[in-house]
Chain A
């Protein structure tokens, strides 16, 4: 079946602009995660959604970052007033339930100039 999809695959933006990154999880997966993969930092957890529960936002690096998940499916990660240090690959993952393994999407490569 279809895996996790993310769009856009690449995004170049100017410093100070807002960006939106989209994630379509695997159909039927209730849990959705966002991670960031940057050079020298490895993979960092950003935010976690599970069903209708309040999201775990403990990994968001600043209040410029926010995410929502509409209808328990598609999620959007928004970065406001982008900075150069936001340049990274943003990965989305989903799992059938929070106790199951996570399946990753191809990521969105964000470059802030």
Chain B
């Protein structure tokens, strides 16, 4: 079964600091990769996604992520965080792609709580 690991459970940064959140998944086949964000009191929103092509994907609000197939990783980055980035971030994987049924569900990591201090 697919599993997703997010190594940082709680991260505290000062504004303007750089951010990198780690995400590793277990399955070696073709997968779709996602980062979702949940701001306080709000529902899950898609931050960015990777389906195929350029392994460096850019999302909303200045976030980007790099898919490194050899490392089974999809780390999230932002060069300069803002206070408004305080939220919980979830990495999710869908796969194996092309398999009906169970291949369509998302497997989530346990989330990383990011707090950005002024």
Which residues of A come within 8 Å of B, CB atoms?
31, 33, 35, 42-45, 48, 50, 53, 56, 58-59, 91, 93, 98-99, 101-107
Contact = CB atoms under 8 A, between A and B. Distances in A.
A45 B100 CA distance: 15
A101 B46 contact: yes
19 contacts: A35-B106, A42-B90, A43-B90, A43-B92, A43-B111, A44-B108, A48-B101, A48-B104, A56-B101, A56-B105, A58-B105, A59-B105, A93-B106, A99-B97, A101-B46, A101-B49, A102-B46, A104-B44, A106-B43
Given A42-B111, A101-B49, A33 B105 contact: yes
Given A58-B101, A106-B42, A107-B43, 12 more contacts: A35-B108, A42-B108, A42-B110, A42-B111, A43-B108, A48-B105, A56-B104, A56-B105, A91-B44, A101-B49, A104-B43, A106-B43
Nearest to B98: A99
Contacts of A59: 105
Contacts of B36: 104
B25 interface: no
Give the bracket for the number of chain B residues in contact with chain A.
Answer: 20 to 34
> In terms of DSSP, what is the predominant structure of the interface of chain A?
strand
A13 to B, nearest CB: 22
A45 B46 contact: no
A103 B46 CA distance: 7
